[in-house]
Structures are given as structure tokens and as C-alpha cells.
Amino acid sequence: MYRSGAFVAEHVTPTTDEQVQPNGVDLTLEAVYEQREPGRIGRDGKEVGSRHRRHADPVVEGSSIDEVTEQNDTYYLPPGGYVVQYAEIVSIPEDHIGFIYPRSSLLRNSCMLDTAVWDAGYEGKGEGLLEVHHDIEIETGARIAQLVLAEAEGEATYDGSYQNENL
């Protein structure tokens, strides 16, 4: 059974009322990365290729330095694949499994967000693969994904190499 958005919000910090949906919680964009070197996935381990954090494009509008600074957080992304990091800390409770789905506004702008299963016990600021099929601008803090939780039986909790990632 999927849990309510209010339940999910208890396991995501920080959140605003706007992020809490009937069946989940919206996750926002913290950073965008481009993978620069090959990774490796073998039978005995894995290696993530080196990444470069993209810089948000400067915005030159506004009448004061505060207005310019507040607006200086937009990523212009041409077609390609990008690793996005979510801004919120997610803690998947025991006996639950987490799924991340793209917000429909990404899909309507020719973008897709690919993610993996989030196991019980995982905690961290997770990441996803943003596929951009047509140029798009995305601001830091924009809601790009929705986390939903479902009850699930499990033998143990997550204790892998991504535990506490990006914290």
C-alpha cells in the first residue's frame, strides 16, 4: 500500500507545505552534474566516473545585488544526460520502499528523470539521471521529482556504499 503525502513528509527534510502532495512529496533541485569520465560496473564492485558540477547561468536582471543574487540560480541545459542531486534529505523507514517519479512538467518539456529503487534504511540526498531531449532552463529549488513510499517486507535495511550520500 502506498502511503499518504503527510506520512512521506515525515521522512523528508526540509519540506514546505507546497511540496506535500496527496500521495508523496516533491523533491527539489540542488545541483546538476555532468559525468566526464567512464564509470565501471563489475561483478566485484563499481566505480562512478568523475563528474563536473555545472554552474548555474548568471542572470543580469534586478535593481539590486540581492535581486541579482537571488535570481542567479538557473541552469540552462542543452540535450544530453545529467546527474541531478535533490536538495532534501530522505530517510526511507523500515518496512518501506521508495520510488521517485518525474514531475509532469519535466515530461511536458521533453525531459525524463530516471531513478532506482530506494531501499528501507537509506538516508541521504539522492540523485537521479535527467534526460534532456530539448533545451530547458531549470532553477535551483525547482520541484522536479516526487517521492512516494510503499509498505514492503524486507529482510534487512540498506547499508550500502550510498548510505548518507551527499550529506
Measured in degrees and rounded to the nearest 5, phi and psi for residue 112 equal -135, 145
The reported pLDDT for the residue numbered 64 is 45
The grid cell for 15 is 519540506
Residue 3, classed as helix, strand or coil, is coil
Q: Is 54 exposed, middle or buried (0-12, 13-18, 19+ CB in 10 A)?
A: middle
Nearest-angstrom CA–CA distance, 9 and 160: 24
**Where do the DSSP E strands lie in 36-163?**
40-42, 45-47, 51-53, 74-77, 80-86, 89-91, 96-102, 111-114, 123-124, 127-132, 136-139, 143-151
The reported pLDDT for the residue numbered 154 is 87
Q: Tell me which H or E stretch contains 17.
A: none
pTM to 2 decimals?
0.88
pLDDT, tens digit, 9 for 90 and up, residues 51-91? 999 987 665 555 444 454 455 589 999 999 999 999 999 99
pLDDT, tens digit, 9 for 90 and up, residues 109-120? 999 999 999 999
- Give the Cα-Cα-Cα angle 104, 78, 30 (nearest 5 degrees): 60
Q: Which domains does the chain have, with CATH numbers?
A: 5-37+49-151 (2.70.40.10)
Q: What is the mean pLDDT of residues 4-24?
A: 97
Task: Give the list of residues 6+ apart from residue 21 with CB closer than 8 angstroms, or none.
Answer: 5, 146
Weakest mean pLDDT among 14-28, 49-63, 127-141: 49-63
Residues β-bridged to residue 124 = 90, 165
Q: What is the mean pLDDT of residues 39-48?
A: 92
Q: What is the mean pLDDT of residues 131-147?
A: 96
Q: Of 79, 85, 76, which is closest to residue 29 (Cα–Cα)?
A: 85
